[in-house]
C-alpha cells in the first residue's frame, strides 16, 4: 500500500503534493480530483493517488490499465499561468518530469509525442491532461499512469509485448513513493520556470526526433520526419516542403 507520509518525506515542493488524497480503490483519479474541486475541497497542487484504479481513462477515449498495488496512478491539479493555446505544454512538462525522476532510479526513459513515456521501445507510462476554463483562468488535471513493479504476467495479454515496467527493466522492484515525489519535485521546478525551457527539454528526451514517423490524426494519415514540437507543444512532421502541426492522434515510428 502506498504511504502518503513516505511520499511527502521525499518532497522538496512548496505546492505540489502538499495535500494528497489517497483512495485504496477508485474509478479514475482524474475524475476524483475534479470531484474534490467541485466540492470545494481541492486547490492547486492537490494530488489524488490510488492503489487500485478500476476505470482508468487513457488518451483518445481509451481505457488505461493499472495492476492493483504495483504501479503509480495519480493526478495533480494545476492552475497554470498559461494562455489556453499553450496548455499542451503541461503534459510535455509532465513527461519531462517523469523521465528525470526515472533517471534517479537508474531508468533511461524517453518520450513519444504527445505524452507517452517509453523505455526500450515499449510503453512505460502515459499522461492524460484535462482542462477547464474558469473566470480565474484555466485549471488543469494532469493524470499520470506509470508501470513500476509489474511483471509481464501482471499485464493483460493484449498489452504484451507493448507494455514495460521499471521492474522489468531493472530486474527488481523499487519503492514507488520516492519516484512519485521525484516526479512532483521535477514538475514543480518546470512550472516555477513558467515552462520556458520545456520544449527543448522535451525534444532532448524525445525517442523519435528527426526520425521517419507515421501519424494517424482526425484528418487522416501522415508520413514524414518528426522535427520537434512548436511553442504550443504541437508535434511537427515534415513531409517534403511542408511542415504539419499535429493536434490529437497517434504517432508511430516507421519501420525500416
Which spans of this chain sit near ligand BTN (rule: CB under 6 A)? Answer: 28-30, 53, 56-59, 62, 64, 73-75, 116, 126-128, 143-145
The string of DSSP codes covering 145-188 is: EE--S--GGGS-GGGTTTB--HHHHHSS---HHHHHHHHHHHHH
Compute the least distance from the CB of residue 155 to ligand BTN, in Å: 14
Compute the least distance from the CB of residue 126 to ligand BTN, in Å: 2
> Which class for 73: exposed (0-12), middle (13-18), buried (19 or more C-beta within 10 A)?
buried
User: Which C-beta is closer to ligand BTN: that of 54 or that of 106?
Assistant: 54
- 141: nearest Cα among 131, 149, 151, 150: 131
Compute the least distance from the CB of residue 221 to ligand BTN, in Å: 20
Compute the least distance from the CB of residue 153 to ligand BTN, in Å: 21
User: Which C-beta is closer to ligand BTN: that of 127 or that of 237?
Assistant: 127
Which three cell numbers, joined as nine digits, stand for 245? 502541426
User: Which C-beta is closer to ligand BTN: that of 17 or that of 56?
Assistant: 56
Which three cell numbers, joined as nine digits, stand for 255? 519501420
Count Cβ atoms below 10 Å from residue 120 Cβ, excluding itself: 12
User: Which C-beta is closer to ligand BTN: that of 127 or that of 179?
Assistant: 127
User: Which C-beta is closer to ligand BTN: that of 127 or that of 251?
Assistant: 127
Instruction: Write the CB contacts of 241 (distance below 8 Å, at least 6 apart in sequence).
Output: none
| Strand (E) or helix (H) holding 102 | helix 88-104
Compute the least distance from the CB of residue 240 to ligand BTN, in Å: 30
User: Which C-beta is closer to ligand BTN: that of 46 or that of 75?
Assistant: 75
When CB distances to ligand BTN are compared, the closest residue is 126
Measure the CA–CA gap between 202 and 92, rounded to whole angstroms. 6
Compute the least distance from the CB of residue 213 to ligand BTN, in Å: 17
Amino acid at each position: 500500500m502506498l504511504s502518503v507520509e513516505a511520499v511527502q518525506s521525499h518532497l522538496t515542493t512548496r505546492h505540489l503534493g502538499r495535500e494528497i488524497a489517497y483512495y485504496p480503490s477508485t474509478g479514475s483519479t482524474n475524475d476524483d480530483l475534479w470531484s474534490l474541486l467541485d466540492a470545494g475541497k481541492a486547490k492547486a497542487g492537490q494530488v489524488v493517488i490510488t492503489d487500485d484504479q478500476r476505470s482508468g481513462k487513457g488518451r483518445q477515449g481509451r481505457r488505461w490499465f493499472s495492476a492493483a498495488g504495483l504501479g503509480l496512478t495519480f493526478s495533480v491539479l494545476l492552475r497554470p499561468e498559461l494562455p489556453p493555446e499553450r496548455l499542451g505544454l503541461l503534459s510535455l512538462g509532465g513527461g519531462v518530469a517523469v523521465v528525470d525522476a526515472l533517471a534517479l532510479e537508474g531508468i533511461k526513459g524517453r518520450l513519444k509525442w504527445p505524452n507517452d513515456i517509453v523505455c526500450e521501445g515499449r510503453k512505460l507510462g502515459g499522461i492524460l491532461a484535462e482542462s477547464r476554463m474558469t473566470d480565474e483562468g484555466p485549471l488543469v488535471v494532469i493524470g499520470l499512469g506509470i508501470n513500476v513493479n509489474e511483471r509481464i504476467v501482471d499485464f493483460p495479454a493484449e498489452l504484451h509485448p507493448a507494455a514495460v515496467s521499471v521492474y522489468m527493466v531493472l530486474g527488481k522492484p523499487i519503492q514507488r513513493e520516492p519516484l512519485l515525489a521525484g516526479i512532483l519535485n521535477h514538475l514543480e521546478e518546470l512550472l516555477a520556470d513558467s515552462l520556458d525551457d520545456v520544449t527543448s527539454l522535451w525534444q532532448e528526451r524525445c525517442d523519435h526526433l528527426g526520425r521517419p514517423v507515421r501519424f494517424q490524426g482526425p484528418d487522416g494519415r501522415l508520413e514524414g520526419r518528426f522535427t520537434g514540437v512548436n511553442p504550443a507543444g504541437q508535434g511537427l512532421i515534415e513531409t517534403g516542403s511542408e511542415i504539419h502541426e499535429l493536434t490529437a492522434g497517434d504517432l508511430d515510428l516507421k519501420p525500416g
